[in-house]
Amino acid sequence: MAFLRPAALCVALAAAFPAAAFAASDADLKQLRDQLRELRDTYQQRIDALEQRLAAAEARSASASTAAVEAGTAASEAIRSVAEVRATADSVARRPASASAFNPAVSLIIDSKLTRFQRDPSAYRIDGFIPSGGEIGPPRKGFSLGESELAFSANVDHLFRGNARFALAEDGGAGVVEVEEVNVETLALPSGLKMKAGRFLSGVGYLNQQHPHEWDFSDAPLAYKAFFGYRLQNDGVQLRWVAPTELFLELGAEAANGGKFPGAERNANGAGLWTAFAHLGGDIGESSAWQVGVSHVRANPRARGFEDGVDPATGAALQHSFSGSSQTWIADFVYKWAPSGNASDTHFKLQGEYLMRRETGELNYGGNGNDYAARFRQSGSYLQAVYQFMPHWRVGVRGDWLRSGTADLGGLDPAGLPILAGYNPTRQTAMVDWSPSEFSRLRLQLARDKSRDGEADNQIWLQYVMSLGAHGAHKF
């Protein structure tokens, strides 16, 4: 960086004294050249002093910016004549690394929404499914602030890389910090192996690893909301292996605490949730790329609680719980197209996932000690297409389908659990967004959400998502 300083100084001086630009530059150049020669002997010590002088000169140049235009030609000539000075400077001037140079890359995502809903978002539920307990509801009506994501990442040393991501949100008027991800991943395991430990977004499915600001729509697919409380987040370890083949093949497995849906809070040693996944991907010609995957999530929740119905005697909400085994399978695919692989003008993206869950175990009704042998088999899917029809502008459509499927409650009267009454929620979404740069996005989204039986909700979302700080590199 510092090697350009003599040039900058020249421009600055030329700009500051337009009438005598060339002469002034020449005199200064000579002085500079001598100084730099001295510098070669004394190295770093005097660089600071020189840089201060340069800063002063640059400040002067700012005030004379109009004159700079006329002086431009003279300045460029002057730049040429200092080539040798620069060469000297090259060898001398390397800005000394300060302690802050090791600071992690920091990025901040801010997100705000203006919404119009027909139905009360605080009463949001997905009928036909056991509530997942996650933050699955739409934001409040009108203006609202989304979660601001604050992310840090850096290499710890030659073996480890650390990542941390916090969501700053508001809950009932009080500011809360949620730990989205805090993990360490290995950099130097042999044979294509990678390990991650801490809290992370599970590698299952396709959308699960994407952060909300990377989504193509303002909210998550219904299937993710119903099956994972909008995403599967683990405290545990992950091992992944990439095959040494031309076709991309990745295998992975995770063992995790499983304290969140589809698991349940637990007080036990070892792991409570396991996953396994495989992804396969490649190119078709130079314009298309694809990836498919299959994943499996297995958890053994103990007393996973949920509320449904009211006690006729007291009027209080009834508390139920489920204990047993929960298994989810996911099949996902994504296909992307861009002419000659150049996505900056136009591109197209088609993605879809199918989720299927089977749960068997004991359902405790109303906390009264009556256990019923229960079996559920439910599925859900979404399909979405996004098309960038001109630079910075995209349109997209998405369809969501859930099937509450078969619920065998083992003799329990289904009327006692209204939320589990058979219902197939659907939602249709359309969006258009404008991204003037890679770092900003404005989106208008329209949706017709039939998550609630008999209560269709027509929604309008207006949202912005902005990225500040370090240039994040996104996954495929």
Partner 1 sequence: MFSKLSLRLAALLLLVAALPAAAAVNVFASVPEWAALAREIGGDKVTVFSATNALQDPHRIEARPSLIARARSSQLVVATGAELEIGWLPVVLRESGNAAIQPGQPGYFEAASVVRMLEVPARVDRADGDVHASGNPHIQLDPRNVLKVADALAARLALVDPAGAVVYKANLARFAEKWKAAMARWEQAAAPLKGVPVWVQHRSFPYLADWLGLKELGALEPKAGVEPGSAHLAGILERQKATPAKMILRPAYTRPTASDWLGERAHIPVVVVPFTVGGSAEATDLFGLFDDTLRRLLAGLK
**Contact set with partner 1 (CB under 8 A):** 1, 3-4, 8, 58, 76, 86, 90, 155, 158, 161, 185, 187-190, 192-194, 240-250, 279-283, 286, 289-291, 336, 340-345, 391-392, 436-439, 471, 473-476
**In the complex, least distance from residue 316 CB atom to partner 1, rounded to whole angstroms:** 50
In angstroms, the CA 153 to CA 185 distance is 11
Comparing CA positions, the residue from 219, 201, 207 lying closest to residue 111 is 219
Residue 445 in contact with residue 437, Cβ under 8 Å? no
- Backbone φ and ψ of 42, nearest 5°: -95, -5
Report how far residue 434's alpha carbon sits from residue 95's, in angstroms, rounded to the nearest whole number: 40
- Asked if residue 158 lies in contact with residue 249, where contact means CB atoms within 8 angstroms, the answer is no
- Smaller CB distance to partner 1: residue 410 or 436? 436
Looking at beta carbons only, is 11 or 417 nearer to partner 1?
11
- Say which residue the tokens 């070669």 belong to: 40
Least distance CB 270 / partner 1 (angstroms): 26
- Cα 302 to Cα 269, 299, 333, 414, distances in angstroms: 14, 10, 33, 22
Minimum separation from the CB atom of position 133 to partner 1 (A): 31
β-pair partners for 364 = 321, 371
Strands 440-450 and 174-186: what pairing?
unpaired
CB neighbours of 406 closer than 8 A, spacing ≥ 6? 375, 376, 377
DSSP run (H or E) holding 69: helix 65-81
Report the candidate in 404, 322, 399, 400 with the shortest Cα–Cα distance to residue 356. Answer: 404
Q: What is the DSSP string of 396-455?
A: EEEEEEEEEEEEE-TT--GGG-GGGS----EEEEEEEEEEEETTEEEEEEEEEEE-STT-
- CA distances to 211, 260, 282, 350 from 289, in Å: 21, 34, 6, 11
Q: Is the peptide bond before 190 cis (omega within 30 degrees of 0)?
A: no
Helix axes 21-42, 47-63, angle to 10 degrees: 160
Nearer to partner 1, 187 or 395 (CB): 187
Q: Provide φ and ψ at 305, rounded to 5°.
A: -85, 150
Pick between residue 153 and residue 300 the one whose CB is nearest to partner 1: 153
Residues 6+ apart with CB under 8 A from 342: none
The Cα–Cα gap between 398 and 235 comes to: 31
93 vs 223, beta carbon nearer partner 1: 93
> Do strands 440-450 and 426-437 pair parallel, antiparallel, or not at all (unpaired)?
antiparallel
Cα separation, 194 vs 299, in Å, equals 23
Which is closer to partner 1, CB of 3 or CB of 152? 3
Shortest approach of partner 1 to residue 438 CB, angstroms?
7
Supply the minimum distance, in Å, between the C-beta of residue 246 and partner 1.
Answer: 6
Give 113 or 349: the residue with its C-beta nearer to partner 1. 349
Measured from the CB atom, is 279 or 357 closer to partner 1?
Answer: 279
Shortest distance, position 167 Cβ to partner 1, whole Å: 22
- C-beta of 195 vs 421, nearer to partner 1: 195
Find the shortest distance in angstroms from Cβ 141 to partner 1: 33
We find the least distance from the C-beta atom of residue 469 to partner 1, in angstroms, to be 9
What is the nearest approach in angstroms of partner 1 to the Cβ of residue 330? Answer: 17
From the CB of 105, what's the least distance to partner 1, in Å? 10
Q: Tell me the closest approach of the beta carbon of residue 117 to partner 1, in angstroms.
A: 34
CB of 232 to partner 1, least distance (A): 19
